Amino acid sequence: MNYYSTGNRQLRRSLKDAVLDGLAPDGGLYMPESIPVLPKEQLHSFKTKTFPEISREIALSLFHEDLPEPDIIRITDSAINFDTPLVKVEDGIYTLELFHGPTLAFKDVGARFMARMLEHFTRGLNQKINVLVATSGDTGSAVASGFLNVEGVQVFILYPSGGVSKLQEMQLTTLGGNITALEISGTFDDCQRLVKSAFQDSDLTKNMILTSANSINLARLLPQSFYYFNAWARLSENQEFYVSVPSGNFGNLTAGLIAGKMGLPVKHYIVATNVNDVVPEYLDTGKYRPRPSIATIANAMDVGNPSNFARILDLYGHSHETILDVMSAYSYTDKELKETMGDVYRRTGYLLDPHGAAGYQALKQHAPKEEGISGVFLETAHPGKFSLTVEEVIQSTIEIPEKLKQASSKEKVSIPLTSEFSELKEFLVQTVR
């Protein structure tokens, strides 16, 4: 199958080239020229299958034109070796826990899959692959873990200084080896801008192979569709359901929309953001106004110019009216997120992280409009990653998972850089030889 750029549908690449490019030469994002639709019989068979088994079938549907079946199975089985359980929070409302992978965040799914696909595509190359990734928190740790010690790959993780939680920072700055953490004096949007600038700099691209592990890369994005099917499969009924997605760079939502195009019976998508409400504003007004991000307790959603919005526009022909039919959006302040976390914990005993709190509250706001339809919100990271905020809200200590304790006991190693592209370029030129 070919993959086209959202900036120019005539610009097409193979899966291998699209994955190695990361970003299209014209600055657009790659999209598959066709999205497979699953037979209803196959969809209903998921009810009796595990998450890894479902993932294998979705991967085969997505990539069967691009890779031999044994390679798809090997990549998927190696990447998806943990569960994403569906947990009932209250009547009609469930959460899909996406924090059971190695770094306790949803991005383990896409990062591990991409690492293995990239390793497959780079076999036999006599030149090192350089992965550039911007993170507002969990992407960095997931990519670092997924790519650690992958032969022939060097990873550079750009993160905003002071813009991620302390435990998230320790997860991405303590691994060493082929993982280099670059601490940028700026916001996540600055980090994302630097990565995009590197891909479009001819001096760099002529002298080194650059790709991205952000959700702008298809190999990171498409596997995130796997767990949407698992959410539906774990529901007892066979009907449509609501999905509420905490959203920052909008890769997670885009993967869910693609799952819907594949036949997943989603009645309506619910977008949950913090005060960085560029997309909710677009839905309200029809105008897209990117702007500098604002720091919040839900730092993974601190994005003022979400890259994947270009894919959403492309999926629906840039039609504001069509997009309104598919999704609704809600935004919340830190105060509102804390109130939600406290309320849910007191009433149900379920412990939310700030991002899950946004997903839960958005679902509650929207779903009651139609009774009898189940709703699922995505819990994207373990609450332990935000222990200071969570403990302040519930007025009690929480148990920190052993994986996080191990990271926090190691020595942080990062390289400070400004948000000037010239400084990043010079660093890469001097480092990558």
Highest mean pLDDT: which range of 212-221, 294-303, 340-349 = 340-349
Interval 146-179: pLDDT, tens: 889 888 889 999 999 998 888 888 888 988 899 9
* Structure token pair of residue 366: 């929207």
Is the pLDDT assigned to residue 212 strictly greater than 90? no
pLDDT value of residue 123: 82
* Structure token pair of residue 418: 């400004």
pLDDT value of residue 124: 74
Q: In what order do the strands lie in the sheet with 241-246?
A: 86-90, 93-97, 375-379, 241-246, 266-273, 327-331
Interval 355-390: pLDDT, tens: 999 999 999 999 665 567 899 999 999 999 899 999
pLDDT value of residue 174: 87
pLDDT value of residue 137: 72
In whole angstroms, give the CA distance from residue 31 to residue 310: 10
Residue 83: band (very low, low, confident or very high) from pLDDT cuts 50, 70, 90:
very high
pLDDT value of residue 269: 97
- 123 compared with 183, residue with greater pLDDT: 183
Label the pairing between strands 375-379 and 266-273. Answer: unpaired
- Above pLDDT 70, what percent of the chain? 99
What average pLDDT does range 86-95 have in this prediction? 96
CATH architecture of 83-105+221-400: 3-Layer(aba) Sandwich (3.40)
In whole angstroms, give the CA distance from residue 26 to residue 158: 22
* Structure token pair of residue 241: 């359901």
Is the pLDDT assigned to residue 196 strictly greater than 70? yes
pLDDT value of residue 369: 55
pLDDT value of residue 338: 98
pLDDT value of residue 182: 96
In whole angstroms, give the CA distance from residue 75 to residue 113: 7
pTM of the prediction?
0.91
pLDDT value of residue 433: 65
CA 89-295-307 angle, to 5 degrees, is 85
Interval 240-281: pLDDT, tens: 999 999 999 999 999 999 999 999 999 999 999 999 999 999
The closest of 86, 111, 88 to 97, measured between CA atoms, is 86
Residue 128: band (very low, low, confident or very high) from pLDDT cuts 50, 70, 90:
confident
pLDDT value of residue 370: 59
pLDDT value of residue 273: 98
What average pLDDT does range 39-59 have in this prediction? 97
Is the pLDDT assigned to residue 404 strictly greater than 60? yes
Contacts of 394 (CB under 8 A, 6+ apart): 341, 342, 345, 351
